[in-house]
Structure formats: structure tokens, C-alpha cells
Amino acid sequence: MNIEKLKAILEDVKKGDLDVGDALDKLRDLPFKELGHSKVDMHRELRKGYPEVIFCAGKTVAQVKDIVGSMLDENINILATRASEEMYAAVKAICYDAVYSEIAKTITIKLQETIIPSSTISIVTAGTSDIPVAEEAAVTAEFFGNKVDRVFDVGVAGIHRLTHTIDNIRAARVVVVVAGMEGALPSIVAGLIDKPVIAVPTSVGYGASFGGIAALLGMLNSCASGVSVVNIDNGFGAGYIASMINKL
Amino acid sequence: MNIEKLKAILEDVKKGDLDVGDALDKLRDLPFKELGHSKVDMHRELRKGYPEVIFCAGKTVAQVKDIVGSMLDENINILATRASEEMYAAVKAICYDAVYSEIAKTITIKLQETIIPSSTISIVTAGTSDIPVAEEAAVTAEFFGNKVDRVFDVGVAGIHRLTHTIDNIRAARVVVVVAGMEGALPSIVAGLIDKPVIAVPTSVGYGASFGGIAALLGMLNSCASGVSVVNIDNGFGAGYIASMINKL
Amino acid sequence: MNIEKLKAILEDVKKGDLDVGDALDKLRDLPFKELGHSKVDMHRELRKGYPEVIFCAGKTVAQVKDIVGSMLDENINILATRASEEMYAAVKAICYDAVYSEIAKTITIKLQETIIPSSTISIVTAGTSDIPVAEEAAVTAEFFGNKVDRVFDVGVAGIHRLTHTIDNIRAARVVVVVAGMEGALPSIVAGLIDKPVIAVPTSVGYGASFGGIAALLGMLNSCASGVSVVNIDNGFGAGYIASMINKL
Amino acid sequence: MNIEKLKAILEDVKKGDLDVGDALDKLRDLPFKELGHSKVDMHRELRKGYPEVIFCAGKTVAQVKDIVGSMLDENINILATRASEEMYAAVKAICYDAVYSEIAKTITIKLQETIIPSSTISIVTAGTSDIPVAEEAAVTAEFFGNKVDRVFDVGVAGIHRLTHTIDNIRAARVVVVVAGMEGALPSIVAGLIDKPVIAVPTSVGYGASFGGIAALLGMLNSCASGVSVVNIDNGFGAGYIASMINKL
Amino acid sequence: MNIEKLKAILEDVKKGDLDVGDALDKLRDLPFKELGHSKVDMHRELRKGYPEVIFCAGKTVAQVKDIVGSMLDENINILATRASEEMYAAVKAICYDAVYSEIAKTITIKLQETIIPSSTISIVTAGTSDIPVAEEAAVTAEFFGNKVDRVFDVGVAGIHRLTHTIDNIRAARVVVVVAGMEGALPSIVAGLIDKPVIAVPTSVGYGASFGGIAALLGMLNSCASGVSVVNIDNGFGAGYIASMINKL
Amino acid sequence: MNIEKLKAILEDVKKGDLDVGDALDKLRDLPFKELGHSKVDMHRELRKGYPEVIFCAGKTVAQVKDIVGSMLDENINILATRASEEMYAAVKAICYDAVYSEIAKTITIKLQETIIPSSTISIVTAGTSDIPVAEEAAVTAEFFGNKVDRVFDVGVAGIHRLTHTIDNIRAARVVVVVAGMEGALPSIVAGLIDKPVIAVPTSVGYGASFGGIAALLGMLNSCASGVSVVNIDNGFGAGYIASMINKL
Amino acid sequence: MNIEKLKAILEDVKKGDLDVGDALDKLRDLPFKELGHSKVDMHRELRKGYPEVIFCAGKTVAQVKDIVGSMLDENINILATRASEEMYAAVKAICYDAVYSEIAKTITIKLQETIIPSSTISIVTAGTSDIPVAEEAAVTAEFFGNKVDRVFDVGVAGIHRLTHTIDNIRAARVVVVVAGMEGALPSIVAGLIDKPVIAVPTSVGYGASFGGIAALLGMLNSCASGVSVVNIDNGFGAGYIASMINKL
Amino acid sequence: MNIEKLKAILEDVKKGDLDVGDALDKLRDLPFKELGHSKVDMHRELRKGYPEVIFCAGKTVAQVKDIVGSMLDENINILATRASEEMYAAVKAICYDAVYSEIAKTITIKLQETIIPSSTISIVTAGTSDIPVAEEAAVTAEFFGNKVDRVFDVGVAGIHRLTHTIDNIRAARVVVVVAGMEGALPSIVAGLIDKPVIAVPTSVGYGASFGGIAALLGMLNSCASGVSVVNIDNGFGAGYIASMINKL
């Protein structure tokens, strides 16, 4: 669209409908706006029909509603993370198609179809309390147009549960592993497969888990190759990167 | 094979050659061994013709030489990281084709060709002192059979240097960004491109940089999407993951 | 039971009632399930008639009720830690025999008798505010079938209180010492007895106690031999290990 | 005046009206009192017509009202930071001209005009959630008699937004940059301009941002010259220093 | 011996060879010395013929030699940990039977036989660089009269190596698991066996391993039951506790 | 008394009323009990007429009431710190003479007079928000029978306020200095006087004050001699030590 | 210039010399390059005749020599910080006018005169061991063309030394205060003057000074207004900012 | 002396030998110098014939020699802490009476006698490796004119050693307790006596002792009343405070 606008200006200049001086005026601010839009361009392949993402934490219900409202005009898909039920009610009021995940705390609005690759993203958790973060990753990955295979509650205390499902995990193109407490699961998984593992430490735990630091350190110090790490509880970030890799 | 073994047991039971009790005994430990063997199997496919990696830090010269020696018999490619010049001299004595990178502190022995994809891995550093870690990543990525594009010294203090080379970085399939001090570069790069960014904090810096912790925290808290992080100074890990992604 | 199922399959193969191919199909997933069950087997001696343990923190009342419900069918003893009174009410509704400890925050259901060794586990606290953690350890140890001797409020500020009870402590086979603040009591106790001491730091304290870190560090740096440490406030873990040792 | 007092003592000694011993007694404590009084003197020149500042956090509504009340008698401008709406209501009741900023949480009372220099202070934020801290800085700077140019939401994830406004920022005499998460924006801004940058880390962020520590470390380790840092969320401090510099 | 001395005093009193007053004088200091010796008494079962332990770190060669020398007179077994080769040379000069372990850095002198139980202590390491700490544990356990089964280099990056040896580990009465980096191995082992696991974090690792803190936190936060932890690199402590448990 | 008991044993042995073996049995545990009793003895002299202290934090209203009740019978003075108004109401109900300090959060019951030395304890605060901690120290010191001189709000930001009162501070026998934020006041005071300074860091502050850690570190690193430190917010501890010193 | 380039493109489009598609191509990356070039422009004005700064830490002697050599051609002033004597010898060999400060560890080459404002920068230290960092600041400030007034060893332990020199400090336009240990001096100075204070924590100290962290926290938590902070030991940064402010 | 100088000026004014104007000139700078000297006055009682203290760490041999040299002229006692043998040799060369303690690393020069109170300072250590810090405290206390009773190696691992010497400790007027590792000894001692305890954490220990932080935290969190703490390894500070208290 912006490329269209830029093209239109150039066409007008070519046709003589637009003076070079006036064109310069129009373009004066464009480079930066254009920069924004050329960034969109550059990202075109990724973002075509893609959701924009709103990080709701620290925003008011009214702010979230306003941002969603202004986006609806552009007819694009929308993903809002860390959204409360109140935020969802406000968004639902202006867009009936909005969908809320209570566990992932996400609002999604799908106005355009996305092309979905045949390969899968596997999202694995160590325990049941890691599931909200894993669901944030899963909803994110699905919304960007990926097939997701959920493998929950296969933590290292009962390693046999992992071995039961390892074939499914191996079948994926990229694996997100979500774990709290000692954060050992990504190492185990990475030692058993040959695909990139995105590790997400969670703030699950107590005592000396320090709100996820123990898990974060465990993952950073993984003795298995192929593990990279995102911030504590950052399910969105993991889902986003997994989508990037799955769509390469 | 294992399925064969299991089938054989069942056949023997059927034929009456094997008592049900004895069969139970044979089956009791099978899962674990099976797990072990299926892993070796799985790894065989992955590792065929791939270099084995030796982490030399904390090993003696003699130990490194011994490990390399035992690997040479298997006729596979070898990568040794964190290797000293003394280790190199010892390895050179038993394998004339060993190559040493003084800056990356790696020994490489290439006995077999690897298939190299046409896509590139871009390895970017903020400063000149981040180059040793970046070279460890680069040598690793090249050794696993990837084309590497080095973009060094484009840190945020002179953001214009980055803009000069951003097109090259965009052309890569995956980007490794190596930075110390405040560790801001991965965020900047990830905001300008649409490929996964593997961020490597380095222990470069002084005062409150705490041996790379400041950079690590900066990267984990990146406000740009698409950044995942490996351990401080872990160039090998970044190169390994980048190779995994580039070869998907 | 699973061994029974496996045996039945083998019997059917032997009798010819089951085709080897069909048996293979049935067994294909078994190894991993079997792994799980063989783990139960391996643990049989420990777990026969033993409670299963549910860590309630982070679970909803409904989830706890569901898990307990599904366990009741298996006719096994149940221990739920970090349980709220609401959880207890919900469990009580489906199992009248459920018992709640307000101080230890545990729900216990004893359906089967456990064999209780003659030796004792001594559970010692420095202060009165350490008692909830100590009770979690005590309830755990008792539920796994151990005799427990409680020795509370004998902290180092009044070392003479400890000396009054040291004979009781010495009579135990293994000692759990629970302490907050500076965490010195396990060192003192270990210096006076010849049995293994399991030290539990508690988050009791203020100022620079950092939620139990001061106590944890004090215990890890104990200059007395024979002290090992579990996580802050982890009464369950200490009770579990003490039971393991007492039953050796 | 004090020199006068000292001279008078010497004159009295000379005239014999004052004993040497008594003179010694009078002189013993003089330096300290002198220090105190010369400081009051020095401060009088500085503070003439300047607002006094009340840090309301940790004070009761009644205390804040009392302090404001006692200041009103001196007919000076008043700035109260970290003020609640209740505090504002109480202050409003005794001074109708009191103004409240809901976002900056400040109460301001302007009884005297301040001379405003022609140069500007630019106050920049990385995200929208950094705005409250930035507004505290802005209200502070304005109250001390400075023109403020607000440049909000130009963080590093979309560096093009910054480039759009960099000319405005360059036009300022001193720049306050407010950022949470990885805290990289001050480095970027300082690399693009030649004016002092006062960096304010905010506690905005989650996971391993540790309530602003990640941003603080990022700013302290800035690889760009010209950045100094104030405490986390200390908008007032940044506005105060910026005013000091702008008025030099 | 001291009991002998006390008995002798009492006998002398009984026989009238010793006045009650004189006996009181003799006993005046005895309670405390007696306390020391009654502690020996109390520990008699444990310590009969047991080595005394010298922690050499921070001691001079001369000090170590002196301490050993004074112990030799008592004809007891001696264990010195963290001993340098120089210390060994000095000790060897006064006791030809002294034995040095270069890898465990221990000097042992065995003058009396110890009764060795039939059960085994299994000492497991994650990597080869954890072996020195494991050897300190092994030498300690052996010296206190235990059979030790070494299972080295079975870390989580290649979990199949662990499964090959799990039966040996299960056969032990108590297991010491030594691991650096992310410290996940004790969790894995404890999930597979039903014996107490003593976890020893090592300072092996780099980057964000923080000299063993990452491993320590991983072990404290283990989601598997039955794991207790000793200080970083404290192989002696682990071997001592394991011996205590094995001899119960 | 114990010496008497010991003598009696010896006499019985002498008379033949007690067998040597039985005497040995009686003596085995004596040292510990003796230790315990000599401590009670020693404490009796110290505590005669002294208040007992109850740390209320973490106790229930009922527990506090019970403890006070049982103490009232012994007719001793009582100090309860960190007491809520509810606790005070409950105590008041059983002892009309109980006095509550709202700011210090203390309950005091004075049943016996204490001898008050003529020297003074000076209690100094940096800011007004440090006063609650200072009052806990003051009430404690007064209750143990000391004259207290309060010098509040003389922090380093306005050092002239300190100089106005330094003579009063110098007149004290021991000085307690309470400060939050950067905790510099104890250094300043200790540099100006020649009496011991007990420094109390407070959790007052925000941002990187970390709940008093900044102040604590500032005080530990004081470049002035004569400063020792107690825990964060530990007004009671400071008042107790100051009383000890003042009464020497 | 760039506007010219943009105009030329538009003219070419108008004249039909440039296809709209090709024009689009040319415009796509322009913003970024433009950003780069406008930055160089902006910097040209700033940097004319200014020294370039080389941070020598982590560079080899050869690298420093090379960088200096390439700069000499541009006939600009050069400042090298953290330079060793070996580096100085190498630089001296190619530029006889190079000057070395042994205490500040700086090499300076002054090829062009700088305009020096009449106002002064005051550089203050708490102790003698803070002088190297202060000298780095002083040399930096002098090299950028400022008059520097050194006021050393006036720390808070002997506050009277400070009062002796406070008039000199007040006379400066901006003050750099360098302090280790508890880092209280900047607060004291800022409380006595009305000029901006740049605080530099130093790694001087021992025990719980943690290599300057105690001083850093002390400065960040300063209760005096007008203090901003740079990294530990960052004398260069402080001198640079002070110069920026002094030259406004 | 300075009071003498001031008195002389006043006398001259009185006698008319000095003009009031000239006297003012002479006095102009005096207030601050006077401040210094009035501080000496104020400290006269403490310091009469007292050693001045030089902290040698971070000073060169030449600097230490110079400082000692300039002090010798004033005929006062001198204490230099953290002094190397080289420093001692240099000092010995200019003052034959200088005495060096190899273990405390102190140089002492005693030119004047000090009055020694009859009461004692008890200096207690947990282990033998805490002795150097304890000796620094002891030498300091002795040099300021106190009798010192050394009680070494009575740590909590063998609490009976402490009970052996507790009477001696009780006899002191103030007690310094030096301990590393878990730092529990000061709590134990303070629980057994009624005198102020100055606790000194030492950096002795390994693993998670973190250079004395574990001991420091243990001491700050002491559950016994009467313990205040100085910096890690700060034997001098403890000896200084103990002397202050002993001489009250």
C-alpha cells in the first residue's frame, strides 16, 4: 500500500501531474515514514496478512481497545498478549470475531488467512504449571500460521514420560521447551534430537528458584548443543522465533 | 534391529523356546537399552560425516591429543574449541592437516567434505574486542558446512556503521550478533531484519558489566522480537544453532 | 498390574491366541509405558502401599480434587502438600477419611497400612516460626511410614535448650534440622551427633535474610561434616529423604 | 556577617573586654556553625524564588498537607513528587492554585515566576510505559523554569521512529532518555547527538529485567560517550539535573 | 582411653587412693575435655579406627606436616584433603605409608583396618571435568571403609550413556552425583532410582555458570524427590555423608 | 549446685554406694546438662529485673497474648517488638499497664524499676522515614533503662543540619545512626565523634536501594573507624547493643 | 546534499530518464543511508579539531600503534585511555609529541589547539587511591579543552578537609566526584553546591565493597539532588560529560 | 599545639602585637584548619599518645615510608595495617623500633606509653585460618592500649571446645568473634554471654561462601541479641571499636 503511495507520487511526477518541489515536500517526511513502511516491505514476506502484536501488560483497558480499534481499519490480523478478561470484553465489543484464550491470556483476531507450512512446531513443557507460558507460545505460533504439537508435562523427574513422546518431538522442525524449577528439560530434549531448541524458563518454583533465575541459568549453561534461550515466561518470544525458523 | 530383537523374543515365546518368566526378565530392561540404542541410531543419521566437537578448556594437552587420536581412526571431521597453541602443536604432530585459528582458538581437521547450502549465516559484532567470540562462531558454522558473512565493529555507538551493512545482514538466513558492554546491538539488528537473531553476550567491558551479565540481561530483555540468547562468550553454541537453522 | 498385562500378552502369544505381529503392535508403545511401569516396579519396594504426592501450589481446587479422585480408584495412600483449606474441603467431599494439617498444610488419605521401622526420624527446629516447614517434613515422614520425634525451638541463641534434648536427637537414625535467619543450627547439631543431618533453610527472617538465602548459605557452608541441604522451605523434600534413609 | 562576628571577638580581646580563655571557648565551635550558616547563605542565593521539593512517598496525607502549609507562608513555589490523589485533594483544600499531574503524580504550586532560558530540554522515552517517569522529569524541569520537548515511544525495536525525531532531539541543550527493558535507547541517542544525555532506567519489563536492573546496567555500560545515569524510575532527579545544566 | 582415665579416677576414689576434693579438682576441667571425649565416645561406633580429616587448603606445608605428625602418635588413620604435592612430600618423609591421589588431591594413611559393609556407594559424574571432585568423594568414602562404584561421564547431553549404567547405579545403597554447568544430572538419576542422592555442584563451566552457582541452583530446585545438596566442589562432604548413610 | 551433684556422685562412689560403671553412666551426659545449667545461672544475673523480649512478627495475636500472659506471672518487665494494634488490644485486656508505641510498633510493660545510668544514648536518623526504626531502637534502649537523646532528620543532603546538633551527639556515650538510601550518615557522624557508632540500615528508598542493601553496603564499607552494623531495619538490635555498651 | 540526490532522482523520473520501478529501487534503502550520512555530517561539526579517543584495554600494542598511525594522517588530536607503557613506547616511536600520564594511563597527542572556556571543572576524590581514576577524568577534560581544578583526598571520614576546599569546588561550573568504599562523597558535595555533580564510583575497597558496587549503589541512591553517575572506574566518561557540560 | 597557636594569636592581639586585620587574615583559613584541630581537640582524650593508623593496601612502599617518616616527627605512636614485608623493611630503615607482625601484617611503632584499662578484650576465632584477621584485631586493640585475650579455633563444628573457654570469654568487657564459612560462632557466643559482640566475617571458605558473604549474612541475621558486624576481613575495624568500648 505504501509502496503504492510512493509509486503513485512517482507516477504523478512522471505524468507531470506533480511538481518536483511538491513531490519533495510530500517525500520530506516520507523517508522516515517510508523507513517504517520499507521495513514493512522488508518484512513483507513475513507479515503479509500477519497479526500485529500488542503487549497488554501495563496498558489500560481503554488503551488496548483504542489500539485494536485503529488496527481493525487496516484489516490485518491482531494478536494481543498478556490480556485480561476485561480487555477481551472491551475488544469483543468492537470486534465480534475476537477470540480469547484464558490460559494463554491472549486475544486473537483473524481477518486474513495465513499460509501454513506443512512442518510442525513442537511445544513441550516440564510440568502442568508451565502450561500458561507454553500456551502463549502455542497461540503465537498458530497465529503466525504454524501447526503446533503440544507435548505437556514430560519433565525430568519422570524421564520415561518424555521417551514416550520423543518421536513426536523429533518430527517437528523446531522445538520450544518450557520449564521452571531447575530448567533441565531443554538440555535433555536437545540431547535427544537434531533440531533447534528454544528454551523458555518459567517463574514456576519456590525457595531458591528466584522467580525463574535458577531455570534461566540452567538453560544458559546447558551442556547440550542447540539450545538458545529467551526471557523468563516469554512464551510470545519463543513462539515468534519458532515461527520465524519454521517458515524459513 | 531392536524391533527385530523384540520380535525374536515373541517368536521364541510362541514357539515355546522361551518361558514367559524368562521373556519378562528379558523385557524388563529393554526399554532403557532400547532408548539408548535408538538414540545412537538417531544420532548416526545426524552425525554422518559431521565433525565431532571437543571442548578443550579444562583438559590437558595429552587428553586432547588422545581424544583427537581416537577420533582420527573413525575418519570423521574434528573441531576442537578453546584450544591452546600447545594443544595445536600436539595435534599437528599426529595429523598434519590440522588447522589452527589463533583468534578463535579452534583446531579443525577436515577429512570429509560437507554439503554447503547456498544461504548464508551473517555473524555481526559490536566491537573489535568481540571478534574472538565471533570467530569461534564463524569457524564452527563454516566447519559444519555453512557460508559465513562477517560484519564486524558495527556497534550502537556509531549506528551509521550498521546502516552501511544492513543489506548484507538482511541477505543472510540467520544472524549471529555478538556484543559486550550493554549488549544492545541484537535488539537494533532484530528491529531492522526479519530473520532469527542468535545473540551472544561477551565478557568484554569493565566496571558494572560484571563479566558479561549486563550484556546478557540486555539481550534477554530485548524489546525486539526474534532474539534468542546463548551463554556468555559461547561462540560455539551460537555457530552450532545457526548451522542447525541454516540447514533446515 | 502392568507386569500382569505384559505377562498376559506373552501368555496369549504362547497360547497362540495372539499373533506375533499383533503382539508387536501392542508392545510398540509399551516399552515407554513399560518404562514407566518398570519404574514403578523398580520402586515397588519403596512404594508398596505408599502415598502418591500432589504438590498443590499453583493448582486450582478443581485440579486437586480431580487428581485425588483419579487416585482414589487405585486404592493407594495419598499425600497432598501446600494444600489450602478450600482444597481440603473439596477432597473431604469425595473422601471422608481425608485428614488435614492446618500447620503443615497437608491433606493425607491413608487407605493402606505401611510397615513402620523401629528407628526414629528426629525433626528439629531453631524457632517456633520454623514449625510449619518442620511439620510438612514430619507429616511427610509419618505418611511414608516412619516414627517421628519432634524437637522444636532449640535454636542457637539459647544453646542450652538444645543440650537438654540432644540425647533424644542422638537416638534418631537420621535428623532433619529446620532453621531460618542465620541457619546455624544444623552445624551445631551435626557437630554433636554421628547421624546424617538434612538441613532445611526457611524463609523466616527479615532484613538481609533475603527470604532464606542467608540460612541456605549458612547451611551449605557448614563447617561440620554430615550436613546436606534441600531447597528453602522444602519440608516435604527433607521428610522424603529422611524416610528413604530411615528405611534403607 | 560571620567575619563580622569573628572581628568583634578579636576587637573584644584587643580591648580586653574578652578574656583569651573565653575567646577560645567562643571560637571552638564556630567553624561548624559557620559552616552551617554559610551553607544557608549559599543556599539562599540559589533557592530564591525556587520551588522546594517534597518527596511524598512514605509520608502520610496529613504530613504532606502540613509541609505544604508551612511552605505557603514563605511564598515560594512548591513541587511535590510521588503524590497521591488524596494528597492532592488535601493540598487543594489549602491552596486553590495547586495543580496535579495524574500521570507524573506531582503537585505543583507556582506563586512566583521563574526566568525561562530559550534553550530546551528534550525528554525521550523508549516506550509508552516509560511515560510516567518521563512526565515526572518533564514536570520537574518545567517547574524549575525550563522549556521541555517531549519525544515519546521511539525505542530501539523500531529505530526508524527515532530517526524521524532526531533533529528535534539534537536541537535541545540537554537530553533526558527514559527506558526500561534492555535500556539501550540512551546509547543510541548519545551516539547520534553531541549533548549530555541523562539516562533514567525504569522498572518497566518482566522476567530477567529485575525491576530495572537490566536497564540500569545497560545504561552504565553504554558504549557511547556522554551518558550519565540516575536511579531507577528517578524522573525527578533527571529533571533536576537537566534543569541545572540547561540553566548554566 | 579417656573413659579409661575417668574410670581410673573413679576407681582411685573408690579405693580411697584419691580424695574427693582432689578428684573434683581433676574433674573440674574434665567436663569440657570429657565433653570432647564423650563426643568421641558417642561417635565411637563411627570412629573406631577411623581416619581423622585435615582440610589442607589455607594451611602451610609445615602446619600439615605437624598435624599429621601429632596424629601418627595416636595410631589412627589419617585423611588429608586439598593437599598439594609439596604437602605429600613432607608427610611422606615422616610416614612412608602415606598415599597420594593426584586427581583427588588427598593424602591417606591407613594404620588400622576398617570394617567394610557389603553395600556400595555409587559415585556418578556428568562430565570428565567433574572427576576431581568425584574422586575426592570416592577417596573419602573408601577411606571411611566403603566400597565405591565409579560411574563417570554420563551427563544429560547424552542421556543414553546414563541408561547403559543405570542398573549399576540402582544397585548402590546411596548415590553421589557430581555435576557442573546446569547441574541437571542428579534430578535425572533421582527420577530413575529409589535411593538417596547426594548432589555435588562443581565450579566447572563458564559464562553464566558463575563458578557453580547455576549447578547449585539447579540441584536445589530439582523437581525429583530424594536429592539433597552439599556445597560447590565439596566432594569430601558428599563422601562423608554417603559413608554415614551406607553404614547406618 | 552442679558441682554439688558431681561431688555427691564422687562421695557415693567413695562410700561404695555407687558402682564405677553406674557413675560413668551418670557422668557421660553431665557436661551438657551442666553447660545448660551454668548458662541459666549466668543469665539469671544478667536478667534480674530485665524485660524479656518478644519478637511478634510471624506470631498470631493469640500467641503473643499467651506469651505475655505467662510472663506476667514472673513479674518481669516485658518488651514486645513488631507488634500490631490488634496484639496491643489483646495484651491490654490482660494487663492494663501495657503501653503501645504506634510508631515503634512496640508494647512495653514495666513492672519493675531499672537502674538508669547518667550517660546518654544518642539516636540519630538521616530522614523522617527512618524514624520508625529509630523509635524501635529508642523504646528498646529506654526500656532497658537508658536515657535516650533523639536527633532526627540530619541526613547528608543537608549536612549543616547535622553540624547544628553535633555537640549533643558528642555528649552521648554511644550513638545509634539510622539511615536508608545511600546510608552515608554513620560515616559522617563517626568522622566527627569519638564514641562507638551502631549503624542501622533501613529499607527506605526506591530503585536501586534494593530494600536496604545499598545502605547496608554503604555502612559496611564506611571509611570512618568506629562503625559497626546490624541488620536492615533492626532497630531493636541496635537499641539492645547500645544499652549493653552504655551499661558497661 | 541528500535532498539534492532525492531531487535528482525525482527530476530524472520527471524527464523520463528513470523508470518508476528503478526509482523505487533507488529509494528503498535511501532512508538508512541518509541516516548514516546525516550522522557523519552532524559529527563533522562536533569533531572538527577534536581528539579522537582510543580505549586501549583489550587491544594489542600493535593495534594501538596502527590506530594512532592512521589517525596521525588526519592531523587531529588523539587521546588513548587505559594505555600501558609499552603502548606509549610504540606510539612515541611514530609521534615524538605523544605525552604519557603514568597515573592516568593516558597517551595524548595534541596537534591542534582547542578553545578553552574560562569556567573550570572541579575534580574531587575521596581518597588517595581514587586518584588514578580522577586523573583519567582530568586528562580527558583537559584534552577536550577545559581548565581542571583538582581537589584530592577530602573524603567523608574527615569531613573538615572538604570544608577547607568547598569554596574552590563551588567556583567550578561542573564537578566530578570520584569515590570508592561507601561512595558517600558525591552526596555530601552535592548537598553543599548548586552545580551538576558527575559521580564516579571506584573499585577501591575490600570486603563487601564488591569491586565498586557498594560505591555505585551509594551514588545511585544519593539523597542529594543533582548527582548523576557513570560506570565504575569510568574516569574518561566523567571527564567527557563534564567537558560537554562545561562547553555548553 | 594548635590550640596553642590560636591562643598565641589571641594573646598577640591582646598585647597589641598583632593588628585585628592581620589577625583576621591569619584566622581566615583557620576555621577549617581549626575544624581539623578542634576535631583533634575533641578527640584529645581518645588520641592522646595514640597511634595514627595507615591503611597500606593500595599504597606503594615509598608512600608508606613517607607517611611514616612525616609522622615520626610528631612523636606519636604509629600503626600500619595490611603492610607487606617490603614496607616493613623500608620503615625499619628509618625507625629501628618498628615491629612487624607477619601474621597480622601490621607495623607498629610505640613512642609513647598508653594507659591500659584493667578490663580485657576477648578475641575469638572459629578456625585456624581466621587467625590472621583476628591478629589484626588483636594488634590493633593492644596498640590502642588494651589487654587482649586470644581464644582461637573454637568453632561450632566442635562446640565443646568453646565451652572449655567460655569462662575466659565471659570475663572480657567486649568480645570480637572472627569466623568464616557459615559465620555461626558470634551467635553462639552472644547467646552464652552478656557483653557486646563485634562479629568479623572472614573470606575463609570455598564454594558458596562467596568470599565471606555467607558469613556476613549469617552474622547480620544472628538470632542472638548483642551482635554487631563489621566488613569482611576488617580486623582493624573490630579492634578499633572494641578498644573504644573497652575504654568508655
How far is the C-alpha of H215 from the C-alpha of H230, rounded, in Å? 11
Which of G140, G228, G240 would best serve as a mutation to test chain D binding (most D beta carbons within 10 A)? G228
Which residue pairs from C163-171 have beta carbons closer than 8 angstroms and sit at least 24 positions apart in sequence?
Answer: C163/F32, C163/F33, C163/F35, C163/F36, C164/F33, C164/F36, C166/C192, C166/C193, C166/F32, C167/F29, C168/C122, C169/C122, C169/C124, C169/C193, C170/C194, C170/C195, C170/E42, C171/C120, C171/C122
Verify G-C touch: 3 or more CB pairs within 8 A: no
Nearest Cα of chain C lies from the Cα of F230 at a distance, in angstroms, of 10
The larger pLDDT score, comparing residue F164 to residue D81, is at D81
> Comparing A21-30, B178-187, C36-45, H116-125, which segment has the lowest mean pLDDT?
C36-45
- Average pLDDT of span A54-62: 84
Helix ranges, chain H (H): 2-15, 20-28, 30-42, 44-47, 61-72, 85-94, 131-143, 159-171, 185-192, 213-220, 235-246
CB C240 within 8 A of CB C211: no
User: Backbone phi, then psi, for H20, in 5-degree steps?
Assistant: -60, -40
Interchain proximity B7–C24, CB inside 8 Å: yes
User: Interface partners of B (3+ CB pairs, < 8 Å)?
Assistant: A, C, D, E, G
| pLDDT, tens only, B175-193 | 999 998 888 899 889 888 8
The larger pLDDT score, comparing residue A50 to residue C19, is at C19
User: pLDDT band at A245, cuts 50/70/90?
Assistant: very high
- Percent with pLDDT over 70 in chain A: 83
From the centroid of its chain, how far is CA E199? 14
pLDDT at G34 over 50: no
The larger pLDDT score, comparing residue E219 to residue E160, is at E219
**Maximum CA extent, chain E:** 75
pLDDT at G218 over 60: yes
Q: Is E166 on the interface with F (CB under 8 A)?
A: no
- Average pLDDT of span F36-64: 56
CB E144 within 8 A of CB E237: no
Triad B8, B10, B11: Cα angle to 5°: 65
Give the β-pairing of C174-179 and C120-125: parallel
Count CB neighbours of B210 within 10 A: 21
Interchain proximity F206–D39, CB inside 8 Å: no
The pLDDT value given to residue D121 = 96
User: pLDDT band at F87, cuts 50/70/90?
Assistant: very high
Restricting to E residues 206-225, those with a Cβ less than 8 Å away from any Cβ of C are 216, 220-221, 225
pLDDT at E105 over 90: yes
Q: Which chain F positions have a beta carbon within 8 Å of C129's beta carbon?
A: 58-59
Compute the residue count for chain A.
Answer: 248
The pLDDT value given to residue C160 = 64
Q: CA nearest A38 in D: which residue?
A: D160
CB B68 within 8 A of CB B109: yes
Which of E2, E5, E10, E38 would best serve as a mutation to test chain F binding (most F beta carbons within 10 A)? E10
- Average pLDDT of span G208-217: 87
The pLDDT value given to residue F123 = 96
Compute the residue count for chain B.
Answer: 248
pLDDT at G245 over 90: yes
Q: Which chain A positions have a beta carbon within 8 Å of C39's beta carbon?
A: 158, 160
Interchain proximity C167–F213, CB inside 8 Å: no
How far is the C-alpha of A209 from the C-alpha of A215, rounded, in Å? 7
How far is the C-alpha of F117 from the C-alpha of F122, rounded, in Å? 14
Strand order in the sheet with C120-125: C147-151, C120-125, C174-179, C197-201, C227-229, E227-229, E197-201, E174-179, E120-125, E147-151
Of A42, A225, A228, the CB nearest to B228: A228
Nearest Cα of chain A lies from the Cα of D62 at a distance, in angstroms, of 30
User: pLDDT band at A141, cuts 50/70/90?
Assistant: very high
User: pLDDT band at B158, cuts 50/70/90?
Assistant: low
Which residue pairs from C53-57 have beta carbons closer than 8 angstroms and sit at least 24 positions apart in sequence?
Answer: C53/C79, C53/C80, C53/C81, C53/C236, C53/C240, C53/E225, C54/C78, C54/C79, C54/C80, C54/C81, C54/C83, C55/C81, C55/C82, C55/C236, C56/C80, C56/C81, C56/C82, C56/C83, C56/C84, C56/C87, C57/A206, C57/C81, C57/C82
Q: Is A164 on the interface with B (CB under 8 A)?
A: no
Of H184, H205, H223, the CB nearest to C187: H184
Size of interface C-H (CB pairs under 8 A): 114
User: pLDDT band at H209, cuts 50/70/90?
Assistant: confident
CB A236 within 8 A of CB A230: no
> Comparing B229-238, C48-57, D237-246, E6-15, which segment has the lowest mean pLDDT?
C48-57
Interchain proximity G231–B206, CB inside 8 Å: yes
Domain ranges of chain A: 31-109, 120-246
- The verdict on ipTM greater than 0.85 is no
User: Interface partners of E (3+ CB pairs, < 8 Å)?
Assistant: A, B, C, F, H
User: Backbone phi, then psi, for A173, in 5-degree steps?
Assistant: -90, -25
Interchain proximity G43–D194, CB inside 8 Å: yes
Name every residue whose Cβ is closer than 8 Å to that of residue F86 and which is 6 or more positions away in sequence: F61
How far is the C-alpha of E229 from the C-alpha of C234, rounded, in Å? 13
pLDDT at A61 over 80: yes
Q: Is G166 on the interface with F (CB under 8 A)?
A: no
The pLDDT value given to residue D43 = 35
Locate the DSSP E strands across F44-160.
52-55, 78-81, 99-101, 106-109, 120-125, 147-151
| pLDDT, tens only, A78-123 | 899 999 999 999 999 999 999 999 999 999 998 888 788 889 999 9
Q: CA nearest G10 in A: which residue?
A: A20
Of C46, C194, C244, the CB nearest to E42: C194
Q: Is C5 on the interface with F (CB under 8 A)?
A: no
CATH number of G120-246: 3.40.50.1970
How far is the C-alpha of G22 from the C-alpha of F159, rounded, in Å? 70
pLDDT at A77 over 90: no
CB F213 within 8 A of CB C208: yes
pLDDT at B35 over 60: no
C-alpha cell at A31: 523517508
D70 burial (CB, 10 Å; 0-12 / 13-18 / 19+) is exposed
- Average pLDDT of span E205-210: 80
pTM to 2 decimals? 0.82
The pLDDT value given to residue A34 = 30
- Taking phi over 0 as left and psi of -120 to 50 as alpha, with beta for the rest, F226 belongs to left
What value does the mean pLDDT of chain B take? 81
User: pLDDT band at F48, cuts 50/70/90?
Assistant: very low
Q: Is C159 on the interface with H (CB under 8 A)?
A: yes
pLDDT at C126 over 80: yes
Q: Is D26 on the interface with H (CB under 8 A)?
A: no
Q: Which chain A positions have a beta carbon within 8 Å of E207's beta carbon?
A: 220-221
The pLDDT value given to residue D210 = 82
How far is the C-alpha of H32 from the C-alpha of G132, rounded, in Å? 27
Size of interface C-E (CB pairs under 8 A): 90
- Average pLDDT of span C25-48: 35
> Comparing C50-64, D19-33, G21-35, G121-135, which segment has the lowest mean pLDDT?
G21-35
C-alpha cell at C9: 500378552
Q: Is E28 on the interface with H (CB under 8 A)?
A: no
> Comparing A156-160, D117-121, F71-75, which segment has the lowest mean pLDDT?
A156-160
Which of C12, C14, C22 would best serve as a mutation to test chain B binding (most B beta carbons within 10 A)? C14
User: pLDDT band at C9, cuts 50/70/90?
Assistant: confident
Of D159, D183, D191, the CB nearest to B218: D183
